[in-house]
């Protein structure tokens, strides 16, 4: 609650928090829109493969020409990480390999990094967090995105003395969405292809939210940051509104649907027949907690919390998240407090590639949201045991053998060359279960 006081002190001392942004897409642009109204926060440099697009993004979000002129634009993220006038790096490319490379460059240069790139974090976050610690810098999730907001709620619940029964987010889900491709994604968003194209919307990126991949990635990130468990057979996506969270998301032994207490799960805003769920949580995050004693359970009732019929399970939730508009919280926590807003601590959950259709030898996988695979949440121990291919490595690689529809793609099914990305992934796997 003291971030603005700390920032004001830096401003008075003539030492604004200076940021470098890599990736001026939607998330990055939302962050940029808040910079002019945050005294003491400056963007020193922006890196994007399309430099002119980055300049245009700044103007689109309301930057005046003086601010644009005083910002350095470049095409190389590693060059940005090495700049002396950058204190905090924001990695917002969404590309796992690029995210890992930029994180390593930031650590080498002694810079904090805000990893908007959840794909990179789930692929190798435990290894990156360990390297950040060795470098004496902060490696953090991006506040405003659902994983960091969920981690905050888990931390709040535990700090208050509650057991966390379940935590996660809401989304729009039906089982058939797992096989949707970029060719048929737009009707599910109520758009025509022409409307989406006019708005500059990327069909593969939007499809990754629909086909379950993004949910798997984000729940793996939450599990790896909080130590919460991962369902043995992946996410169930139960239809559930905010009033029923404490009833549905409790252990089976207590009448709910969870394998056990302390799990991540995503709730759907649609009933299985396609009807909308009453008071859904499509845009929000939640935590279900258990009263440690009868007195606390009575307090739940006295203060109006929605509980299950026993009164011992209750839920807290945040109905919306504002993505990059809230990112300042991560930047300022890293720079002013030396603290992350959620960070990977262990390798607990993984997001692995599953075939959307029968795949043949010689085919090239096209990653999250594409035509060939979708990402499924899996316990990390199981993923390592069977040699499952992470969704973050399932882009641009060639199959060496057939994979039937619905089957997990494995490392043995693809041809992978040596790379920094693969090396970081193997370091990540060695930290299986570490906390």
Q: What mean pLDDT comes out for the span 136-145?
A: 98
Residue 126 CB-density burial (10 A; 0-12 exposed, 13-18 middle, 19+ buried): buried
Name the residue among 279, 280, 288 with its Cα closest to residue 308. 288
What average pLDDT does the chain have? Answer: 96
Distance, in Å, from the CA atom of 110 to the CA atom of 88, rounded to the nearest integer, reads 9
Task: Identify whether the C-beta of residue 96 lies closer than 8 Å to the C-beta of residue 117.
Answer: yes
Question: Residues 265-322: pLDDT tens digits?
Answer: 999 999 999 999 999 999 999 999 999 999 999 999 999 999 999 999 999 999 999 9
- Residue 418 confidence (pLDDT): 81
Question: Residues 242-269: pLDDT tens digits?
Answer: 999 999 999 999 999 999 999 999 999 9
Task: Identify whether the C-beta of residue 156 lies closer than 8 Å to the C-beta of residue 128.
Answer: no
Say which range, 38-47, 198-207, 215-224, 385-394, has the weakest mean pLDDT.
198-207
Percent of the chain with pLDDT over 70: 99
Distance, in Å, from the CA atom of 434 to the CA atom of 413, rounded to the nearest integer, reads 28
Residue 192 CB-density burial (10 A; 0-12 exposed, 13-18 middle, 19+ buried): exposed
pLDDT(435) > 60: no
- Residue 95 confidence (pLDDT): 94
Token pair for residue 138? 């902060």
pLDDT band at 45 (very low <50, low <70, confident <90, very high): very high
Backbone angles phi, psi at 117, to 5 degrees: -70, 80
Evaluate if pTM is beyond 0.85.
Answer: yes
The CATH class for the domain spanning 3-144+324-337 reads: alpha beta
Name the residue among 164, 137, 139 with its Cα closest to residue 152. 164
Distance, in Å, from the CA atom of 412 to the CA atom of 405, rounded to the nearest integer, reads 17
Question: Residues 363-411: pLDDT tens digits?
Answer: 999 999 999 999 999 999 999 999 999 999 999 999 999 999 999 999 9
- Residue 119 confidence (pLDDT): 96
Name the residue among 216, 214, 212, 128 with its Cα closest to residue 175. 212
- Residue 196 confidence (pLDDT): 86
Name the residue among 338, 347, 328, 240 with its Cα closest to residue 286. 240
Rg (CA), the chain: 22
Distance, in Å, from the CA atom of 154 to the CA atom of 277, rounded to the nearest integer, reads 25
Q: What mean pLDDT comes out for the span 71-97?
A: 97
User: Domain 349-430 classified CATH 3.40.605.10?
Assistant: no
Residue with tokens 């057991």: 163
pLDDT band at 327 (very low <50, low <70, confident <90, very high): very high
- Residue 201 confidence (pLDDT): 81
- Residue 210 confidence (pLDDT): 96
Query: How do the domains of the chain map onto residue ranges?
Result: 3-144+324-337, 147-173+212-320, 349-430
pLDDT band at 434 (very low <50, low <70, confident <90, very high): low
pLDDT(97) > 60: yes
**SS3 of residue 319 by DSSP:** coil
Say which range, 44-48, 376-380, 430-434, has the weakest mean pLDDT.
430-434
Sheet holding 139-141, edge to edge: 72-74, 41-47, 17-22, 88-91, 112-115, 139-141
Question: Residues 147-205: pLDDT tens digits?
Answer: 999 999 999 999 999 999 999 999 999 999 999 999 999 999 999 999 988 877 889 99
């Amino acid at each position: 609650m003291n971030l603005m006081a700390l920032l004001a002190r830096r401003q008075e001392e003539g030492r604004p928090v200076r940021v470098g942004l890599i990736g001026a897409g939607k998330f990055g642009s939302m962050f940029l829109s808040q910079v002019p109204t945050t005294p003491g926060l400056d963007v020193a440099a922006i890196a994007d493969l399309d430099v002119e697009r980055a300049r245009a993004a700044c103007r689109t979000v309301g930057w005046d020409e003086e601010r644009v002129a005083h910002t350095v634009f470049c095409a190389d993220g590693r060059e940005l990480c090495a700049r002396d006038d950058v204190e905090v790096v924001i990695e917002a490319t969404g590309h796992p390999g690029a995210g890992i490379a930029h994180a390593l460059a930031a650590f080498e240069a002694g810079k904090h990094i805000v990893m908007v790139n959840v794909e990179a974090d789930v692929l190798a976050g435990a290894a990156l967090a360990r390297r950040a610690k060795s470098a004496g810098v902060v490696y953090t999730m991006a506040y405003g995105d659902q994983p960091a907001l969920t981690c905050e709620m888990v931390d709040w619940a535990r700090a208050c003395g509650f057991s966390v029964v379940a935590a996660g987010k809401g989304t729009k889900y039906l089982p058939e969405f797992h096989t949707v491709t970029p060719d048929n994604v737009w009707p599910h968003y109520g758009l025509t292809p022409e409307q989406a194209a006019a708005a500059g919307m990327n069909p593969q990126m939007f499809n990754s939210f629909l086909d379950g991949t993004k949910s798997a990635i984000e729940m793996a990130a939450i599990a790896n940051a909080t130590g919460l468990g991962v369902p043995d057979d992946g996410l169930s996506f139960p239809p559930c509104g905010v009033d029923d969270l404490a009833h549905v998301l409790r252990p089976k032994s207590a009448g709910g649907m969870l394998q056990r207490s302390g799990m991540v799960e995503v709730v759907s805003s649609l009933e299985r027949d396609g009807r909308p769920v009453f008071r859904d949580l499509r845009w929000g995050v939640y935590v279900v907690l258990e009263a440690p004693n009868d007195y606390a359970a009575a307090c739940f009732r006295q203060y109006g919390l929605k509980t299950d019929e026993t009164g011992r399970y209750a839920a807290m939730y945040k109905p919306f998240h504002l993505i990059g508009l809230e990112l300042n919280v991560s930047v300022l926590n890293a720079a002013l407090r030396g603290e992350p807003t959620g960070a990977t601590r262990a390798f607990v959950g993984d997001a692995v590639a599953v075939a959307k259709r029968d795949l043949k030898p010689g085919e090239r996988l096209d990653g999250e949201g594409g035509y060939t695979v979708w990402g499924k949440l899996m316990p990390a121990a199981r993923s390592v045991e069977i040699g499952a291919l992470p969704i973050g490595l399932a882009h641009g690689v060639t199959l060496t053998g057939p994979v039937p529809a619905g089957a997990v793609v494995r490392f043995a099914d693809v041809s992978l060359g040596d790379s920094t990305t693969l090396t970081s992934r193997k370091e990540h796997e060695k930290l299986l279960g570490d906390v």
